[in-house]
Structure formats: C-alpha cells, structure tokens
Amino acid sequence: MKEMRRRVLILAIVVIAIVVTATAGYIYVGSLSSAKPIVTVIRIPKGSSTEPTGFSVADFQTNFVNGTYPFPVNVTVTIGVNNSIEWVNDDTVGHTVTALVAPAGALKFNSGLISEGKSFSVTLNVQGVYKYTCAWHNWLAGKITVNSP
C-alpha cells in the first residue's frame, strides 16, 4: 500500500510539472504571436481634392500602369507582410482609397468615403504590389509594395 501511494505521488508530481511547463510555454509563445503589426500612416493633405495643373485622365492611366505618380500628394511605400497602412483624411472633402491592382490571392481593398478627419486602415498579408487611387480624385494615387520578412 505504501509503495502504491509513493508511485501515485511521483506520478502526480510528474503530471503537475508537465502541466506547469506546458502552461508557461503557452503563455510565452502566445505573447510573442500576439505582437501588433507595424502601422504606416499616410496623410491625405488639405487641398488635395483640387485638381493639379497638368493632370489628365490619359496621363493618369499611363502613370498608373507604369507605377509612376508625378503629383506631390502621391505616396509609394514598402512594408512587410501582415503590416498595416492607415490613411488619415486631413482634407475638407471626402476621399476613398481604392485598390485597382492587387497581387494574386489578395483582396482589393476599398475604404468607401473617408470623411474629413476620419481614417481607414488595412492590413496586407499577401506579398506583392498594390496600386490604389481615390475614386473621386484620380490624381491621388500610390503604390504599396509588400515584402516577405
């Protein structure tokens, strides 16, 4: 009987040690995996709703395909996979952020109308190039390149 109690006690100690080790490992690994993504902020400046001198739809289409954006309020950024972009509308009129090009397997994002002082953010988890524009003001366009870690 004494031998049986001893074995049960040893087994209980081993089980408790395993549970404590597994729980500590889960808490540690869980805290690593819940890290917040990096957020890149793009500000839509006041007055950007005014069509710039020299803008034409034909030039926009060519520039959009080539990935060159000659107007000063256009932004090109590079981020890592699973990082976020946030657009903040500092203009007095609404704007959109509408992806017209996205990598295979990625969804094209569309903010809908972003009112003055409001923002829109998206987390990009597919590597590749995204090209976006404002649906109302095509001179506002940009390119996001998402690289793998």
Q: What is the DSSP string of 3-60?
A: HHHHHHHHHHHHHHHHHHHHHHHHHHHHHHHTPPPPEEEEEE-TTTTSPPTT--HHHH
pLDDT, tens digit, 9 for 90 and up, residues 118-142: 999 999 999 999 999 999 998 888 8
Question: For the chain, what percent of residues have pLDDT higher than 70?
Answer: 70
pLDDT, tens digit, 9 for 90 and up, residues 50-69: 988 888 888 777 877 777 76
Domain 39-147 has CATH 3.30.470.160: no
Q: Round to whole Å and give the CA distance between 128 and 8.
A: 58
Say if residue 21's pLDDT is above 80.
Answer: no
H or E, element range at 131: strand 128-133
| pTM of the full structure | 0.71
Q: What is the mean pLDDT of the chain?
A: 82
Tokens 């990625």, residue? 106
Predicted confidence at residue 71, as pLDDT, reads 67
First to last CA, the chain: 60
Domain boundaries, the chain: 1-35, 39-147
Is residue 86 very low, low, confident or very high in pLDDT (cuts 50, 70, 90)?
very high
Top-confidence residue, 52 or 86: 86
122-134 burial string, b = 16+ CB within 10 Å, else e? bebeeebebbbbb
Q: Round to whole Å and give the CA distance between 50 and 3.
A: 88
Q: Round to whole Å and give the CA distance between 108 and 48.
A: 23
